[in-house]
Amino acid sequence: MTTFIPTLTTNSKEILSKNFSVLASVIDDPELLGSIPGFHLEGPYISPVDGFRGAHPLSFVRKPDWNEFLELNKAAGNKILEVTIAPETEGVMDFISKCKNTGIIVGLGHHNADAKTVTEAIDRGARIATHIGNGCANMINRHLNPLWPQLADDRLMISIIADGFHLNPEEIKVFYKIKGPEKTIITSDVTSYAALPPGKFVNIEGDSLELTPEGMVRYPAQNVLAGSASPLKKGIANVMKVTGCTLEEAVNMATRNPARLYGFCDRGVLEPGKRADIVLFRIIDNEIVVEKTIVNGEVVYSR
C-alpha cells in the first residue's frame, strides 16, 4: 500500500507518549513521501474482560481520560486520526462527543456493549467497527452480543482482517453481504514480526510468541492468536476468493474506502490533481504479485 496509519495499542501513558513522539518526528521525513498522514490509537480505553480485551495487557487498560488523550495527541503532533474504544466503558460517551467535535474518528472495538450502548455511541459519532469479529470473547450470548448491533446499523462502517487467521471464510462472507463493498474496509494486523523469519520470540512483556511459516503470530502456550505477519495484499486476494467480489471492489475496500473514512481528499482514487499513488500488480495463482509501487509520483519499488 502507498498510505498507512501506524497503530499504537494499549500501554502506559509514558510509553504511548514516547512512541507517538517518535512517530511524529519522522512523519514529515522526505523519504516517506507523505505516506503516513497520521496515527491510530487502539485502546487503552477498552474492555478489561478476558477475550474482549484480546492481546492488550490488562495492567494498562483504563477508563477514558480526555486530558490524557489530549497529551497523547500533543505528543503525536496532533496527528491521531482515530481512536478505538469500548462504548460500555464509564465516561466514554462524552469522550466520543469530544472526539467528534475535534474531527477524530471513533472506532468501536475490544468491547462487549449491548445494542442500546452501540446505538448511542453511533449517535454520538462513532463511525467504524474496528476489525469486527476480533477482540471478541470465544463464548458469547447468541442473541445479546456486540456483533449484531454493529452489523445492523447502516451508519457504521466495518474493517475486517482477512488474512485467513483472524476470521473464518463464512464470517467474512456474512460481514461482506451485510455491509457491502461501500462500507467495508480491508485492513491488516501486521505487527513488528512481519519482517522476521518464522520462529519463536519473546515480546516486551516477557510473553513467548511464535511466528508460523504461514504468517500467523500466536501465543503457543494458550494457542491464542496474537497478530499477523501477512501483508494487506493477502487480505485483498482472500476477500475476492471468499466473497466473489470483483477485483475493483476488493481494491476499493483497501484503498478508496479508508480514504473516504479519514477524509483524505488527495488520495484513494486515480484522478487528475490527486497524488500519484499507484501499485502495479499481477494475479498469479490467486496471489497478488506486486510489480511496481509509485508513491506521490516516485517509483519506490520495482520487482
Taking a C-beta distance cutoff of 8 angstroms, is the pair 202, 217 a contact?
no
Burial readout 60-85 (b: 16 or more C-beta within 10 A, e: otherwise): bbbebeeebbeebbebbbebbbbbbb
- Nearest residue to 164 (alpha-carbon basis) of 303, 286, 6: 286
Q: How confident is the model at residue 72, as a pLDDT? A: 98
Compute the distance between CA of residue 103 and CA of residue 258 in angstroms, rounded to an integer. Answer: 15
Domains along the chain? 7-193+229-273 (3.20.20.140), 194-228 (no CATH)
pLDDT of residue 218: 79
Which is it for strands 208-211 and 287-295: parallel, antiparallel or unpaired?
A: unpaired
Query: Helix (H, G, I), strand (E, B), or coil: what is residue 64?
Result: coil
Q: What's the half-sphere exposure (Cβ side, CA atoms, 13 Å) at 155?
A: 14
The β-bridge partners of 106 are 83
Q: Which of 161, 220, 172 is nearest to 7 (CA)?
A: 161
The alpha-carbon radius of gyration of the chain (Å, integer) is 19
Closest CA to 89 of 126, 46, 127: 46
From first to last of its 303 residues, the chain has per-residue pLDDT tens of 899 999 999 999 999 999 999 999 999 999 999 999 999 999 999 999 998 998 888 999 999 999 999 999 999 999 999 999 999 999 999 999 999 999 999 999 999 999 999 999 999 999 999 999 988 888 899 999 999 999 999 999 999 999 888 899 999 999 999 999 999 999 988 777 777 888 888 877 777 888 888 778 877 776 667 777 788 999 999 999 999 999 999 999 999 999 999 999 999 999 999 999 999 999 998 889 999 999 999 999 999
Residue 157 φ then ψ, to 5° = -80, 165
pLDDT at 165: 82
CA distance 7 to 43: 10
Give me the pLDDT at residue 222, please. Answer: 63
